[in-house]
Structure 1
Amino acid sequence: MKTTFKKSVLAFLTCVLALAFALTGCSGGGKDPKANFVGSWQYSGGTLDGEELTDEYMDMLKEWGLNCVLILDEDGTGVLDMFLEVADLKWEAKDATTVTITAEDESHDLKLKDDKLVLEVEGDKLIFTKSDKDLSGTVKKDREAAEKEEEVDEAVEDDDVQSVEISPAVTVADDDLCTITITEKFKDDWGDIGFVVNITNKSDKDLTFYAPSGKTNVNGTMKEPWFSANLMPGTSATEEFTFSSGELDSLDDLVNTTIGIDAYLTDSYEDVASYSATIA
């Protein structure tokens, strides 16, 4: 009698447990939440200082060669490459929609929503979209560039700073919109080489000037320089048109240079002008 009763209880418990496991399997509760986050994520928009980062803005960053990539590896490590600032990190999935990343002793939660990872910090929002490509090569390239810049920064002393006046100054633009002139060649204390640019916005619009991809040539070789200047109507500025460390070794390399500078309306990102000039 007692034996029959025990068998009945065990049989009942076995059925209950089997049903519980079946329901858990159907609900997806057995899936490791880490699987939702592993892979390469690319910055795709958001807000900054209350302003929405539009597709045009994102295209501009891409043209400038600026990347923002988040990689989360299966072993709980990863890397954040934010515009050439590369930081290693650790991460863990708190649940199926929340991942915590920790880098340089700071931790932040990212929320998974509509297949996008969203990071909100001090009112700003960064949105990452899952890439179908492995972006570790991009991160490696940016890391090497950052390390090289740091090495140059440590190796170059203040007395290595050089400048050579360009006389007469080279006029890149002189119209109703703006004037742009090149007045010097320089090598700074980071080892970067480039030109000093004087620029005046003569229009009634807020303009941003930049160096577009594929328009600058140094002695027969295409280069990707860095240049950006935002000018309110009627204002002037002196900026640097710079080639990254390693692209040019000395001022003597900066010869027979054709530079390109374009302008767009800051508020709408609408291109309004394109200029170029050659410096011997």
Structure 2
Amino acid sequence: MKTTFKKSVLAFLTCVLALAFALTGCSGGGKDPKANFVGSWELSGGTTEGEELTDEYMDMFEEWGISCILVLDEDGTGSLDLFSEVSDLKWEAKDATTASITVDKETTDVKLEDGKLVLEDGEDKLIFSKSDKDLSGTVKKDREAAEKEEEVEEAVEDGDVQSVEISPAVTVADDDLCTITITEKFQDDWGDIGFVVNIVNKSDKDLTFYAPTGKTNVNGTMKEAWFSAHLMPGTNATEEFTFSKGTLDSFDSLVNTTIGIDAYLTDSYEDVASYSATIA
């Protein structure tokens, strides 16, 4: 009788202890350390090549559309989008504050410090803050942009860069101030598309020529272009009037184009002239 009772008590205590351990495992004490790292992390500071990555730098990166994102997925894979260059990675949690990340067969540790991920490589130190958003979509866009750029570079290597002489050259301006002519259209090494512009400053003033907003269209559709040339009195230059990659579908899209080029006094920023011309 006593033996049976003693066995029952021991069995009961065993169940209680097992339940206690199970509950402890579900609480913070038994939390899988991997959960501390899973998610999207954005660069928020640090130092690189001895330069501190201040808030001003972070704002500049955002304005330029430059990404620095670390995505750690629950399955131990992820992505490192370092200044819009994307690499796949594998990772694992060593403990609650340390994880190892492997990119291109190179492994490094990141550490959790005050809720932020810190990656150190020599004197460089990158600090990532946890984002409340899933940034995998941004990483995907950067990956696609990088792949497209690689295609452009391959096209350059294959001799697909194009240029066509415009004959006769199109005159944009010819007065006492300057002469501006368009002599060629092209697609360059980086996939930018545009025109070659020859320009002469006939005046006795320092002049800066530029492409103003809202004065250029391609085949009836308004486009933003880039052009800038600073010429001292009596000098000439050859510059490119370009549309950034992605603005036009291809080199063949550059048809029926009306361009605008304005000029201002370099020292005073006073506008002095406005020109336009159409290239068939």
The TM tier, using the shorter chain, reads 0.5 to 0.7
Are the counterparts in 2 of residues 152 and 245 from structure 1 also a CA contact under 8 Å? no
Write the distance in 2 (CA, Å) between the matches of 1:256 and 1:16.
Answer: 83
The aligned residue for residue 131 of structure 2 is 131
Mark the CA change 1:169 to 1:119 in structure 2 (over 3 Å): closer, same or farther.
Answer: farther
Provide the TM-score with structure 2 as the length reference. 0.62
Write the distance in 2 (CA, Å) between the matches of 1:48 and 1:216.
Answer: 39
The aligned residue for residue 90 of structure 1 is 90
Mark the CA change 1:160 to 1:120 in structure 2 (over 3 Å): closer, same or farther.
Answer: same
Q: Secondary structure at the match of 1:95?
A: coil
Q: 1:222: Cα distance to partner?
A: 5.1
Write the distance in 2 (CA, Å) between the matches of 1:148 and 1:91.
Answer: 28
Write the distance in 2 (CA, Å) between the matches of 1:54 and 1:196.
Answer: 39
The aligned residue for residue 251 of structure 2 is 250
The aligned residue for residue 28 of structure 2 is 28
The aligned residue for residue 74 of structure 1 is 74
The amino acid across from 1:21 in the alignment is F
**Gapped regions of structure 2 (runs ≥ 5):** 174-182, 198-212, 229-238, 262-268
Provide the TM-score with structure 1 as the length reference. 0.62
> Could you give the per-residue CA deviations for residues 21-62 of structure 1, whole angstroms, max 9, x where no partner exists?
389559723101111111111111211111211111111111
Query: Deviating runs (4+, > 6 A) in structure 1?
Result: 163-170, 238-242
The aligned residue for residue 51 of structure 1 is 51
Are the counterparts in 2 of residues 186 and 251 from structure 1 also a CA contact under 8 Å? no
Mark the CA change 1:279 to 1:132 in structure 2 (over 3 Å): closer, same or farther.
Answer: farther
The aligned residue for residue 205 of structure 1 is none
Q: 1:158: Cα distance to partner?
A: 3.5
The aligned residue for residue 151 of structure 2 is 151
Mark the CA change 1:89 to 1:17 in structure 2 (over 3 Å): closer, same or farther.
Answer: same
Q: CA RMSD of the aligned region, Å? A: 4.6
Structure with the greater alpha carbon radius of gyration:
2
Mark the CA change 1:26 to 1:159 in structure 2 (over 3 Å): closer, same or farther.
Answer: closer
Write the distance in 2 (CA, Å) between the matches of 1:75 and 1:54.
Answer: 33
Aligned residue pairs: how many?
228
Write the distance in 2 (CA, Å) between the matches of 1:216 and 1:52.
Answer: 38
